[in-house]
Structure 1
Amino acid sequence: RVTADLSAFGGPANLALTAVGDGGYTLDAQVVAETMGAHSVIVRIEQESGERTEVLQFAHFITVLPASDVLIFDDATALGWTLAHSSLVTPDTAVRDRVYVGDTAIALRASPTRLAGWNIEFLVDHPFVSDGYRSLRFAFHPGDAQVPDNGSFLVRVNRRSLGNREPTGLYNLNYEFGKPANLLGGGGDSGVPGFEVDFQKPEWQVVDIPLDILHPTGTIELIRFSGNLAGTFYLDDIRLIMAAESLTAVEAEELDERPGNFVVEQNRPNPFNSDTVIRYELPRAAVVDLSVYNLVGQQVAQLVQRSREAGSHAVRWDGRDDQGQPLAGGVYLYRLRAGGQMQVRKLLLLK
């Protein structure tokens, strides 16, 4: 008897698969995923063996990707988003005399002090995973803004860092911000360079920042602009851009064959009983999440969770969980996510 657990998609937890001959089975079901990201379908095989029943379970990971961009502002703050700001900047979301697209844009009238800058934040009501989004894009117009000595103009995307508490304000410590992009150039502690805007051009300029640069690993909570510009400048058409791979709304990770140099090799040795090495290649710098799962889809060990440069990398794993305890022998899955791409492979731990 072969069944599938579709409860991750709101479906039945014990749906029988149909035999198609030669030991094959098929599943035909319509389900609705209410959230994006990785979901597991647990397949359970039961076989009578004498007076007992042998049971084997394994997980098939399915990634639900977005079907469109996420609009944050266009004519108005988008439904599901809230605009918050500090006292040193006044936003006007109904400007009609200087618009990039649509009917209105945001004018930001900033009055920083010598000791304090300003910031604005777009907070989302229902946080969502960043899987399937390629970049943050927005239009900027310098207006009459002036850049002071030691000027600052940054944009960040954050992630939740402490449990499931709800945000309580603009400076809530429940947020951990990602690495900022520096819209004035520079680098180091002042943010990632390469996304400069030109204050000498009195025209709209489109800024497109890859999410890999902003490091929004996990859940997207808010978009934050901050700095010490003085005067009035404008923003319009702020959105998260869907990755090109998201043309299909649902993809099975085990069948990921996207082109390029994103490669996850089979671990060696395999099977193993002491330690094994997992090698992978990245076509560009990205935040890497390499984790090990058991066959019911539970994460048992996180091997990598940090930014890695483009090129070849190797990770050694000793078969222990995140608490340092040896895992039982058996089949496990290891999954690598980086730069909007994913691959899953199996390994066998012997005891």
Structure 2
Amino acid sequence: MIALRLWQRGALGVTLMALAGCAGPSAAELPQSTGLGDADVAVYITQFTNDATTGGRVVLYDRDGPVSMVSHQGIRVPRLIWDETGLFFVDQTTDFQISDRLERSTRSRAADTLVGMQGGPDGRRVVLFNDGLSAGQNHTGIGVYSGIHEQSQADLLDSMAGTFSSCAGGVYSAGAKTISGDWSALTRLDPIGGGAPQAIGTEQAGVLVNGDDAPCLDDGVVVLWYADSNSHLPELEAWQWSTANGSVRRTPLRSGPNRFAVDSRVLSDTEVPTWLVDGKLLWVDSAGAAWRADLKTGVTNEIRDGLEVSDGQIQSWVHSGGWVVQFVYVQDHSSAHLNIYSDKDLSLVQTRELPQLAESTPTDQMVLAVAVSPHFAPEPDNQ
């Protein structure tokens, strides 16, 4: 399956693909979940479509296999948040949380597409819904939650941000300000006291690499940046964007005596997982290479190549504790597994099969998001 971006703000006209290897007429029926139990992996299953989704399920796995599921209506570009409060997700009309029990809450507004979803401290969640185009502007609806309970609503106009971060006690978006033009903005989505999203500092020229759950260092959101979206070989910088005043600490990345440049195709139309280890920024590009950059010197080295490549439309990477977990479909989606890597050097620690996934997947549906528990770890014998 080709890496294809499902949805772009203001334009849903992408070519649909045939889904191969999904289950037969009736997917295996798991019991409806009543709590997390010993589950440590969750997958969000629904249609990959330009039309509104019509169904789906979240399937929970423990180390022996699938244990339960939660049926839902699905939503385009789904996400999962799993923190100490529980596993949180949404469909078009309903919010869900699984902890020691299953909770559901009907939202005051419906939406068929997510823009993003980011967890914060103490069970806070910020959910961004696509409210479409109006008067030439993108409208993004924002819900700020405590657990499953929506505390406030707001709107964010004309944002194309594709990076979100929990940083300095708040939840932030960073990225393109408008559909056209290489300008980026940093915005607090859950300002103290509620109210409208708060711009932090001024807009900055250039393009941010979509990083979804971007790391935070010294109260600054850490992102990869380049100057021109039309460049085929952009030179990268690491930015540390202050959540206090919007100032930017810029570190040009270097490879030997030269600036570090990459083929733009390994960064575009996909999410690039990024994380920090010992003050260094690590990421995996869409060609299966892993990189590490020193945020003080900019020295950048390739630490792995030949990693399995994930489908671009799937939110397939999760960083949890000392592990980086990758969801991979194989054999035309007839099976799937998790690759569990050390977050320090991307050494493969374990490959964990996800048995009965095809049998648990309804016809014409597929996994579009994955999450692991906060205490996730490989099997003890493999650590």
Q: When the two structures are superposed, what TM-score results if normalisation uses the length of structure 2?
A: 0.23
Length-normalised TM-score, structure 1: 0.25
